[in-house]
Structure 1
């Protein structure tokens, strides 16, 4: 789930960065993503809660960036989308506590998953939204 939310959020923010003085509607953004505007509105709510965008209702309403794209790192977007969850997750079943592996596997895996997320954040912190949007 994190994978698609990050892609959608980055797409939205890239559009806003390319046209940072305009208020873009969820319908316009959805057209670029080729998805239902409801999906866009859900991600817009999350981006607003992270203080990355602002919105205005009404005839000339829409959303726009709240910060300069040079101040937004891809890692900021990832961490907002990721929330408390790791990119990888534990199995839904409860391992056998009588097994030497089963009683420790989740603890060991959580450490690995934290390291993976940290590596992703380090990599994404090397690029701003401004640098990303300049590819288009």
Structure 2
């Protein structure tokens, strides 16, 4: 679910921004979050594929920010976590396509879902990870 993934990823990114240049293991990050390191690694994968973090393997490995926290917006983190899904989801049932409503409801809902996602991005875009980190 996007809403908890964003919280987890923003926590991770804030921790990395607070200690720039340091490598952090998923176990160390998981301690801060009080969650299983496997869940941390899932979010790290999305952040890495979006170019927000760098990683290295080995005893002294871990993850760190790929670029300065000043150059990372909260929208960048949200989009990395959100991927191609929407914040809101369609019902898992398949509507009756012969129904006037059922035949069009998903198309209409997807249009609204795009607007919701874009509104969130518009709110998060001017906020930097650096500014967020400085609140701690």
Q: Shorter chain as normaliser: what TM range? A: over 0.9
- Partner residue in 1 for 2:32: 32
**Secondary structure of 1:60's aligned partner:** coil
**Secondary structure of 1:54's aligned partner:** strand
User: C-alpha separation between the residues in 2 aligned to 1:92 and 1:28?
Assistant: 37
- Partner residue in 2 for 1:77: 77
User: C-alpha separation between the residues in 1 aligned to 2:22 and 2:94?
Assistant: 50
Q: Provide the alpha-carbon RMSD of the alignment.
A: 1.0
- Partner residue in 2 for 1:115: 115
- Partner residue in 1 for 2:49: 49
Q: Residue 98 of structure 1: CA displacement?
A: 2.3
| TM-superposition CA deviations, 1:52-79 (whole Å, max 9, x none) | 1111222222111010001000101111
Structure 1 unpaired stretches of 5+:
none
State the number of aligned residues: 136
- Partner residue in 2 for 1:132: 132
Q: Residue 101 of structure 1: CA displacement?
A: 1.1
User: C-alpha separation between the residues in 1 aligned to 2:94 and 2:72?
Assistant: 39
* TM-score, L = length of structure 2: 0.96
> Which range moves more in the overlay, 49-58 or 115-124?
49-58
Q: Residue 41 of structure 1: CA displacement?
A: 1.2
- Partner residue in 2 for 1:89: 89
User: C-alpha separation between the residues in 2 aligned to 1:104 and 1:60?
Assistant: 54
